[in-house]
Structure 1
Amino acid sequence: MPAGFLIVYSEPGEFVTLDEFQDWYNNEHVPLRMNHLKSFLTGARYSAVDSQIPSWTALYDIDDTATFSHDSYTRLRANRSPREANLVQRLSILDRQTSELLVDSGESQLTTSLASNNPSKGLITHGLGNDEEKAREWFESTVKDLRNSEGWVRTRVFKCIDNLKTGVSIAPGPEAQVVPKYFAVHEFTTVEATSSPKISSTALLSDVRKWGLYKAYPGIAQGNLRNFVLDCTHTL
């Protein structure tokens, strides 16, 4: 099975306060995955720095795409807590996309990507259309240019294998569920480095977004949960 990837765009909206949204994400939603599932290799959340909506995105590296159909993962959504079920119904946007890795420029010594130790501070995400060959060609040419961009860390292209948009602001009907089949995630050492990268501008690109790191989470797969708990206790 190919490596899996989960990206979720979200917007609290008028019926969920930011404090409630953050408390749910940080203390219930993410820990249920990162603290218990070794299949969730990394997990990080970013906030928009481009003043666009949705304002938040969460990204997770998954061991392989088989995880998406495994009971250890699917039961988390099937058996939501009353609190989570209620909050999800009130969110303005929850756009969940499961995917598989298509191509990867490779890990860098500059950051640990989405892992909690020295994570990438800035991201650019965007769609790449529905043609795999064109997406691969775009990747090859763009990565050559990005290698000369200061602060660039990594670029990956993913193939969306399933998606679902829900929320009080999502229009009914199949049109609202359409997303690009292929999308890219670019990582940078700083948010400032996202301002002028050498990304090839073609008709393939859509929904270009820029993000700054909010938090990268420790996890059982990273083997750093105990140290994280001790660090939190020490700071209290």
Structure 2
Amino acid sequence: MGKAILFSEMTPDASFESDFHHWYDTEHIPIRMKCDGFVSGQRYRSDAGPGFLAVYDMTDLSALKTPDYTKIKTQPSEQTRWMLDNVRGFTRYLGNEIHRNTKDAGAIDAPILYAVWFNVPQDRASEFNDWYESEHIPLLMKAQDWRMVRRFRIVDGEPGTWSHLALHYLASIAALQSPEREVARKTAWRDKLAAESWFKGNYSIFERHGDRHIGISAVI
């Protein structure tokens, strides 16, 4: 894991999905893994439809400003140009990690990724972060299959407007129905925050797709 991520979704048409996967696994991710600052990359399949997600771990966001990465972005291959012109459901968000709670080093390769987004007003961010990190996460982590939570401050992205992202790494989707999660969602502190107009999260579930790609900046 690094201290920053690039979170990007794409949805290929069924007519070229096979080519999309070949391109993603043999070109799109591998060339990024050769850039300084890239630690790893993992793909996921959306649980809600035909979309796919890639989460790139980086040492920090300066990885996106290196000469090698700049060349990748400004001089794409013909196949890359075609794919990016023809996929839909595109998202791209950049985030700095602000908190991590994990049970073990292998948690990053959990089979289920549960992404939770919030757009938090600046004057409410301190209490929101305090609640999430000192109460909400510890309660969730009591569930056997809740293996890790990483929180990020979003610094740039499209198409939505979000300020905070939490990535929950789960051993099983059943964790979302666990008694521990029910307790975490029914505390007085959460109820207090949930009564505020901005407290409207966006939730997505993803299943791991393929193996993790390891970058040249990974610490072995």
Give the TM-score, by structure 2 length. 0.81
1:162 aligns with 156
CA shift at 1:211, angstroms?
1.2
Q: Is the contact made by 2:39 and 2:214 (CA closer than 8 Å) also made in structure 1?
A: no
Question: 5+ residue gaps in structure 2?
Answer: none
> In structure 1, what residue type is equivalent to 2:154?
C
Query: Cα–Cα, structure 1 residues 220 and 150, in superposed 2: closer, same or farther, change >3 Å?
Result: same
**RMSD of the TM alignment (CA)?**
2.4
Q: Is the contact made by 2:37 and 2:216 (CA closer than 8 Å) also made in structure 1?
A: no
Query: Whole-Å Cα distance in 1 between the matches of residues 23 and 103 of structure 2?
Result: 32
Question: 5+ residue gaps in structure 1?
Answer: 114-118, 165-176, 225-236
CA shift at 1:218, angstroms?
3.2
Query: Cα–Cα, structure 1 residues 39 and 130, in superposed 2: closer, same or farther, change >3 Å?
Result: same
Deviation larger for 78-87 or 67-76: 67-76
The total of aligned residue pairs comes to 201
1:133 aligns with 126
Q: Is the contact made by 2:107 and 2:147 (CA closer than 8 Å) also made in structure 1?
A: no
Query: Whole-Å Cα distance in 2 between the matches of residues 72 and 112 of structure 1?
Result: 30
2:37 aligns with 39
1:30 aligns with 29
User: Which residue of 193, 196, 205 maps to 1:210?
Assistant: 205
By percentage of residues, which structure has more strand? 2
Query: Whole-Å Cα distance in 2 between the matches of residues 104 and 185 of structure 1?
Result: 10
Query: Cα–Cα, structure 1 residues 213 and 191, in superposed 2: closer, same or farther, change >3 Å?
Result: farther
Q: Say if 2:80 is the partner of 1:98.
A: no
Query: Whole-Å Cα distance in 1 between the matches of residues 205 and 45 of structure 2?
Result: 9
Query: Whole-Å Cα distance in 1 between the matches of residues 39 and 116 of structure 2?
Result: 23
CA shift at 1:74, angstroms?
2.5
**Percent identity of the aligned residues?**
18
Give the TM-score, by structure 1 length. 0.76
SS at structure 1 position matched to 2:162: coil
Query: Whole-Å Cα distance in 2 between the matches of residues 24 and 17 of structure 1?
Result: 11
Q: Is the contact made by 1:194 and 1:210 (CA closer than 8 Å) also made in structure 2?
A: no
2:137 aligns with 143
